[in-house]
């Protein structure tokens, strides 16, 4: 499916892969070439994220096992897209426990313990090194999306009891989705 992009070029909405798709469990490969293909993938991921709607998306979620994430945790009226290539969490402080959801785990939300603030380093689409201090929703989102690059879903952080409840509920959610198709 294609939609018109902001710059008048064609931006593709990408298919979001759902758990238990194996691509979501792979450790993603580092990005080595900062070329037009990478830029196109990042633009398509941003549009896919906004359309979902979501506040973050990692390349494995669209079936690409590369270390690339996009985020926008800013206010709805004002887009603040961040594209982070090969992102790494340098350090973190504090802890928080907010409810999270994931475009790859439709219909399920749960509280996950995370660092409250993180310092992140990554490369931009031109390969330039960047650093960012993130807190609040931005910090949670960076941790959630970087987890995706290591094959970790937010539900992997749940206690064994909550995990078994999740499995039961998620099986029903998937069945309902299949019925709707
Ligand atoms: Ni996610």
Instruction: Please write the tens of the pLDDT for every residue from 72-105.
Output: 999 888 999 999 999 999 999 999 999 999 999 9
Q: Considering the domain boundaries, does residue 110 fall inside one?
A: yes
111 lies in a domain?
A: yes
What is the span of the domain harbouring residue 142?
22-180
- Give yes or no for a contact between 153 and 24, defined as CB atoms under 8 angstroms apart: yes
Q: Which run of H or of E encompasses 22?
A: none
Q: Is residue 15 part of a domain?
A: no
CATH number at 49 reads: 3.90.45.10
Task: State which residues of the chain have pLDDT below 70.
Answer: 1-9
Provide the pLDDT for residue 129. Answer: 98
Task: Output the CA 25–ligand 1 centroid distance in Å.
Answer: 12
**Is residue 11 situated within a structural domain?**
no
Position 3 in a domain: no
Domain total for the chain?
A: 1
Is 116 a catalytic site residue? Answer: no
Q: Residue 92 domain-assigned? A: yes
Residue 68 lies in a domain: yes
Residues near ion ligand 1 (CB < 5 Å) are: 102
Q: Of residues 43, 47, 145, 178, which has the active-site annotation?
A: 145
pTM: 0.93
């Amino acid at each position: 499916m294609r939609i018109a992009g902001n710059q008048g070029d064609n931006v593709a909405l990408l298919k979001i892969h759902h758990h238990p798709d194996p691509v979501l469990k792979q450790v993603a490969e580092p990005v080595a070439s900062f070329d037009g293909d990478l830029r196109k993938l990042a633009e398509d991921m941003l549009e896919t994220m906004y359309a979902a709607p979501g506040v973050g998306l990692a390349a494995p979620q669209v079936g690409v096992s590369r270390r690339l994430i996009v985020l926008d945790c800013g206010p709805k009226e004002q887009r603040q897209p961040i594209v982070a290539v090969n992102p790494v969490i340098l350090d973190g402080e504090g802890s928080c426990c907010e409810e999270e959801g994931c475009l790859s785990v439709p219909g399920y939300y749960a509280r996950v313990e995370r660092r409250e603030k993180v310092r992140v380093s990554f490369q931009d689409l031109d390969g330039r090194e960047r650093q960012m201090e993130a807190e609040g929703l931005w910090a949670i989102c960076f941790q959630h999306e970087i987890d995706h690059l290591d094959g970790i879903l937010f539900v992997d952080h749940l206690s064994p009891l909550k995990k078994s409840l999740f499995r039961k509920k998620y099986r029903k959610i998937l069945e309902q989705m299949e019925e709707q198709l």
